[in-house]
Chain A
Amino acid sequence: MTADVLLDVQELQVQFRTERGMVRAVDGLSYSVARGEAVAVVGESGSGKSVGARSLLGLLPKTASITGGQAIFDGNDLVGMPERAMRAIRGRRIGMVFQNAMEAMSPTITLERQLTEHLIWHGVCSKAEARERAIRALGEVGIPEPERRIRMYPFQLSGGMRQRAMIAMATAIEPDLLIADEPTTAVDVTVQRQILELLKAQKERGTGIIMITHDLGVARFFCDTAVVMYAGQVVERGPMAEFIECPAHPYARGLLGSTIDVGDRHRKLSVIPGSPVDVANRPSGCPFRTRCALADADRCTHAQSLESVSPGRVAACWRSHDHV
């Protein structure tokens, strides 16, 4: 894995300017993605998982800024990269798949234009060839009659087809890295499976994937690495198989316990008490201590750093060794 690292994110910090002052939405996010590796960034809404990924491409609103850390992609730091250089990477080397294709595609532009325009912007190929590639990409994601459908507008496709067309939009150009921001959240379960298979196929082609999701069931489908975020911080990071086997951080255990597993109907679903902490009012020390069953008044009020719990695996909890 270390041999062919595509992206190495180190201690990334993102702040938002709000009426209540600066808010640290992402506070020390580190992970790396190799070619053909899929990394799942998992957490509840507001955990900073999406903000962390979007900040890599400079796609955050004006009120947000990266205040620290680095993100080395192919030898260059994406943090602070000039707009021109960044634009050459966006959509070309790093593609992005969004949660809802209905919202992520313009309603007044045909699929053909939306699927081919960036191939032309990036000078990848001619207009005619771009059309061929887009039709091929649509066929690959399982859209029947792609020659006919490419002339349509997004609203003329079914929800599942639209979502697959959006994946084709990101992959027709064959990027090195794909950021998938909750790509299965807005679709029904049968489509969810198709989308995951498509992303898995991309991974097998050697594309690195950052999969942002709140659903561990989705994350474990094909991801190699789990990065669990809570309140803008990484609480646990490690290989997916070991993580699913025995999560080390109490929050990660709660998250896994509340994941529906269709195969096992005897297992009881558990619930994490309380609601996600507001990053603007993050408690001192461990951010999860206000909801944690194991919280200890002495130990947990101190900041918890990521400690190794087993080879390749870290967790930010002083009790994590108890469980591994």
Chain B
Amino acid sequence: MNLAVFAVRRVARLVLSLIAVSIIAFGLLQLAPGSFADISNLAAEESSTVTAEMQQRYGDEVPVWQQYLGFMKGALTWDMGPSYKYTGQNVEDIIATSFPVSATLAVVAVIIALCIAIPVGVFSALRQNTPWDYGSMFAVTIWHSLPPYLVGTFLMLLLSGTWHVLPSRGWSGPENMIMPVIALALGPAAVMTRYVRSSVLETLREEYVTAAFAKGGARRLVIRRYVLRNSLIPLVTVAGPVLANLMTGTVFIEWIFGIPGLGQYFTDAAASRDMPLLMGTTLFFAVILMVTNLVVDLLYGFLDPRIRATAGAR
């Protein structure tokens, strides 16, 4: 009847979900038209090299279910074999080198989004229906409707093209991160700002806030202790999925800024039917999404005493 039981149950459910995801993904890829060799117009000898490698690994003309089991064995032992397209590179190495890049971008973007969303959301909620509120909500709507690739391109034109203050492409230092992170953070910041605003407004109407004022609480203190705590806890459930979404790669932004993240490899793999890489990244994304959700749930349980107390009982 405690958090550990809760966590064990969730991990068990996660494993079952992963098995389901892998079967579905593998099945769909079998059904997808075209093959790597068709699409990439490989020279005969190149094609045969890859095919030979495949034959060596999985055996010739093995049934589909054996291919699946073979891949899953590889995935579990972190040995998913070479990519078709990026010859000479193993799938697990591609993930291991590109995921940290995407993850860093995502984490920094989400932190920035939160740093915008919480103050702006709280500020407009506390000044509901004043010019301040209308102004900030108008700004939020504007930046929400700007797609990241547009913001990214604009920033690049301005900061790299006109003013020459930031490098336009590449991934060699923190200065490469500034523009992509801003472009990525704006959308989530807008979503979360709205969420914070409505959550604070809702909490302000709670009777316990009136009760805290009735006890003689100063406005600042009541806001901090009663309103913010209760209205920001649910933000975890919004920020978690946003983080997972960004971590699994952001194709446009990585492409525009020449960042060697996971998103590029994933789209490349899908376009060229690079089966090992596609399966590998798909499974990896599934793991990331599920683990993030698990962490969100555990964190929520830790932050909200009601869930903490009943978590073991569920």
Contact = CB atoms under 8 A, between A and B. Distances in A.
Contact of A87 (B216, B225, B230, B306): B216
Contacts of B211: 96, 98, 104-105
A92 interface: yes
Contacts of A89: 216
A103 B213 contact: no
Contacts of B225: 106, 109, 117
A98 B305 contact: no
Interface string B209-241: 011111111100100011001100100000000
A118 B225 CA distance: 13
B45 interface: no
A319 to B, nearest CB: 40
Nearest to B210: A59
Nearest to A106: B208
Contacts of A121: 215-218, 221
Contacts of B305: 107-108, 153, 155
B175 interface: no
Q: Indicate the member of A87, A88, A89, A106 with the most B CB atoms within 10 Å.
A: A106
Nearest to B211: A104
Contacts of A305: none
Nearest to B308: A153
Contacts of A107: 208, 230, 304-306
B202 interface: no
B215 A156 contact: no
Given A100-B207, A105-B208, A90 B233 contact: no
Contacts of A87: 216-218
A108 B206 CA distance: 13
Given A103-B206, A103-B207, A106-B230, A59 B213 contact: yes
A90 B216 contact: yes
A302 interface: no
Interface in B283-314: 304-306, 309
Q: Indicate the member of B207, B214, B221, B230 with the most A CB atoms within 10 Å.
A: B214
Nearest to B219: A83
A208 interface: no
Nearest to B230: A108
A98 B212 CA distance: 11
Given A98-B207, A108-B230, A91 B306 contact: no
Nearest to B207: A103
Q: Indicate the member of B206, B216, B304 with the most A CB atoms within 10 Å.
A: B216
A156 B306 CA distance: 8
A90 B218 contact: no
A122 interface: yes
A92 B213 CA distance: 11
Nearest to A57: B214
Nearest to B214: A96
A108 B213 contact: no
B218 A155 contact: no
A106 B226 contact: yes
A109 B221 CA distance: 14
Q: Indicate the member of A100, A104, A155, A169 with the most B CB atoms within 10 Å.
A: A104
Contact of A108 (B207, B214, B218, B304): B304
Nearest to B217: A121
Contact of B214 (A91, A103, A117, A122): A91
A103 B215 contact: no
Contacts of B230: 106-108
B213 A90 contact: yes
B214 A90 contact: yes
B309 A156 contact: yes
Nearest to A118: B215
B229 A108 contact: yes
Contacts of A96: 211, 214-215
Nearest to B309: A156
Given A103-B208, A108-B304, A117-B215, 5 more contacts: A87-B218, A105-B208, A118-B216, A118-B217, A121-B216
Q: State the 8 A-B residue pairs at the shortest beta-carbon distance, nearest first.
A: A91-B215, A91-B216, A118-B215, A103-B207, A90-B216, A96-B214, A104-B211, A106-B208
14 contacts: A90-B216, A91-B214, A91-B215, A98-B207, A98-B211, A100-B207, A103-B206, A103-B208, A104-B211, A108-B306, A109-B226, A121-B218, A155-B305, A155-B306
